[in-house]
Chain A
């Protein structure tokens, strides 16, 4: 069974979102996503300063098997990307919730509340 931490928010496209105390968002891909992708071998992450609209394809994750897009869960500005994970893509497989990919400053802080919670995401992946 894939891990779905209760304190995180989720998207249907398998990103996880952690709302930090300072109002920024930390984003990665879920354990379910890394299991489905298989061994991750390459990541292309958005540069800091880039403005994203909600649902915009902003990063690429490639496993041995296939390439997948990663989408911005809400609109906002990229404030950091995780170069350590880009240099060691297998860390996504080892710890999907530790291997964050980028951080966003949301354009509208209220958008975060509208994202799916853990129970909603569990129901979502149970259907698939």
Chain B
């Protein structure tokens, strides 16, 4: 308690743009710059940008980098064939719980970039160093707090970013979806957390404010953590600490698709626990049909049994409340269920995630 909140290199830029700041995982971050709903719509319809410098970039290099990651992660980096290709993965503990979810970019078998969540960064680095020591991997792990990161997201994100940033002006500067390219000391990645096209750009901290201001001048709207949360919720993307954590199996958190069991020889951390404990729950979307707002930790009653919401909010795109719910395996999409909201039972419908992708409502 009372340790001063950390500031990203864009802190002054946020204040200049009228940000309302909140504490997030020990960082003083913008929650909105006025209206969270307007910021949300900007990303769905045009282009918005987020300061994601609180997340930690790590460089992993060395002859054992690939074999180390094949042991460390539940998804398999050996499926990354092209240089720069990215992979979303959980990093599990021995009990099969999720230590963190992360993105890893492969540049070569001996050269990877990993991006982890802010709130788990210290824990993640400690775990990775412990694993390096345990299996005596010949790798180096370097935390890159010298870098800042901006996510530019939306149907016009790339067009506006190209207008703003000379590094992107050639088509060679734009990577293919779910890949990253290095351009000088930048890493430009076609990834994000909104369900829209866009870029995540890692840049030396000393140059990030100039980049932010250039994007601002090109019409990219600053967006805070509030919009980031409703965008990722609509896009069906899990939030660490809310939809899964150290005590939750990825198999019960809608993340089975990220657990790669194809290679029987690949003994990644947590595999034995997952083999012994198959999933017993599934993650479904809920669309509230009555009036109200769904939040996390609300009880859900379905024909097949009870479940619980893990994330919930108001969806600006659907103009209804939506949630993720961890439900019994037998609960199907398209069922009518009831949710206990502030002492009342409200009607909701289960749907397959995501709710929205590339500006289109899918439910």
Contact = CB atoms under 8 A, between A and B. Distances in A.
Interface of A: 35, 38-39, 41-42, 44, 60, 62, 64-67, 90, 93
A44 B293 CA distance: 11
Interface stretch (B31-39, B158-166, B175-183): B31-39
28 contacts: A35-B20, A38-B20, A38-B31, A38-B32, A38-B36, A38-B226, A39-B35, A39-B36, A39-B314, A41-B314, A42-B292, A42-B314, A42-B321, A44-B291, A44-B292, A60-B342, A62-B293, A62-B314, A64-B37, A64-B230, A64-B313, A64-B314, A64-B316, A65-B36, A66-B295, A67-B295, A67-B342, A90-B37
The A interface, classified by DSSP as helix, strand, loop or mixed, is mixed
Contacts, number: 42
Given A64-B226, A67-B342, A42 B293 contact: yes
Contacts of A93: 35
Interface of B: 20, 31-32, 35-37, 226, 230, 291-293, 295, 313-314, 316, 321, 342
B36 A64 contact: yes
Nearest to A90: B37
Residue from A38, A39, A62, A66 having most chain B Cβ neighbours under 10 A: A39
A41 B314 CA distance: 7
Nearest to B320: A41
A67 B314 CA distance: 11
Contacts of A44: 291-292
Contacts of B314: 39, 41-42, 62, 64
Nearest to A66: B295
A42 to B, nearest CB: 5
Contacts of B291: 42, 44
A38 B313 CA distance: 13
Contacts of B292: 42, 44, 62
Residue from B226, B230, B292, B293 having most chain A Cβ neighbours under 10 A: B293
A39 B35 CA distance: 6
A62 B36 CA distance: 14
